[in-house]
Structure 1
Amino acid sequence: MSDKVRLFYDGSCKLCRHEINYLSPKLRHKATLVDISAEGFTGFEGIGKSAMMAQIHLWDGSRFIIGLAATLYYWRLAGMRFLPWLLELPVVNPLANKAYQYWARKRARCTDNHCDLR
C-alpha cells in the first residue's frame, strides 16, 4: 500500500480539469494528482475506474475518502479554510452533500470538454 496522498480526478471533465489546474500549484508537494481518464488507468488499491468516475476519490495514505469529504480534504491541503469550514457546518453539510451527489450524477455527462448538467 502507498502512504502518499493521491487525488484521483477526471481529466476529461472540463470543470474538474479547471479546478485541478487552479489547485495543482498549491497541492504540488502535498499530493499526487492522478488523471483517471488517462489511457491505461484501471484503478487503485482495489477501487476500479468506474467507481472513481462516479465520484471523486482521495487516498489519504491508508484509506479512501470519497465525495464531498474528499473535496474538503484536498481544499484544506491546498490552503483553503473558509469554504471547507462553511460546508461542514451541521446545518449546511447535509445540503452540501446532496448538492455534491447531484453534481456527481450529472457530471457523467461532463466528458470530452462538454458539460450538460440538465
Structure 2
Amino acid sequence: MTNSPELTLFYDGACPLCSHEISYLQRHNTAAKVRFVDLNSPDIRQEFPVVDIKDAQQVLLAIDHNGLMLRGIDATHAAWQGVGKGAWVAPLRWRLSRPLALLGYAFFARHRQRISSLFKPRKERCDCK
C-alpha cells in the first residue's frame, strides 16, 4: 500500500524561477509528503478536473490531503512545511508580517515571467550568438 502525499502542489514548469524553487523543494521532499504537478502536463485536466489551469498559472495552487485548496502564500507555506522547511517561511503566516507577504506575493505572481527573465542567461534573453 502506498501512502498518498499530504499535499499536491501545482506549478508552472515553463517559469524558470518557479521551476528553480520546485527543484529545491523536490530535493528536500525526502518523506514524499508533497506531490509536484506541472501545469503544462498533458493529462492534468483528466487527473485534476477541479483545477482551473488559468487560475493556477496566476497564483500558486495546492490541494491538501483533505481536498482543501490553498492559494498563494498559504500554498507556499504548506509546500515548505511539507518538505520540512516550514520554519523558513513561518513569517508568511505571522499576524504582523502576513499583510506585507500578501502584497509581495501578489506583486511577484503578477510579474513572475518578467522577474524570471532577469535570471535567464543573457543568451536566452536575446538573439545573441
Aligning the two structures, in what range does the TM-score lie when normalised by the shorter sequence?
0.7 to 0.9
Q: What is residue 26 of structure 1 aligned with on the other side?
A: 28
Amino acid at match of 1:94: P
Relative to its length, the structure with more helix (as a share) is 2
* Alignment partner of 1:71 is 2:62: no
Give the whole-Å Cα distance in 1 for the aligned partners of 2:10 and 2:105.
16
SS in 2 for 1:58: strand
- Count of paired positions: 112
**Unaligned residue ranges in structure 1 (runs of 5+):** none
Using CA pairs under 8 Å that are at least 6 residues apart, name the structure with larger relative contact order, 1 or 2: 1
TM-score, normalised with respect to structure 2: 0.75
**Unaligned residue ranges in structure 2 (runs of 5+):** 119-129
Q: Which has the larger radius of gyration?
A: 2
Q: Following TM superposition, where does structure 1 have runs of at least 4 consecutive aligned residues deviating by more than 6 angstroms?
A: none
Could you tell me whether the CA contact under 8 Å between 1:54 and 1:108 is conserved in 2? no
Q: What is residue 91 of structure 1 aligned with on the other side?
A: 96
Deviation at 1:109, TM superposition (A): 4.4
Amino acid at match of 2:91: L
Please give the root-mean-square deviation of Cα atoms over the aligned residues, in Å.
2.3
Amino-acid identity (%): 29
TM-score, normalised with respect to structure 1: 0.81
Distance 1:37 1:109, change over 3 A: farther
Amino acid at match of 1:19: E
Could you tell me whether the CA contact under 8 Å between 1:10 and 1:17 is conserved in 2? yes
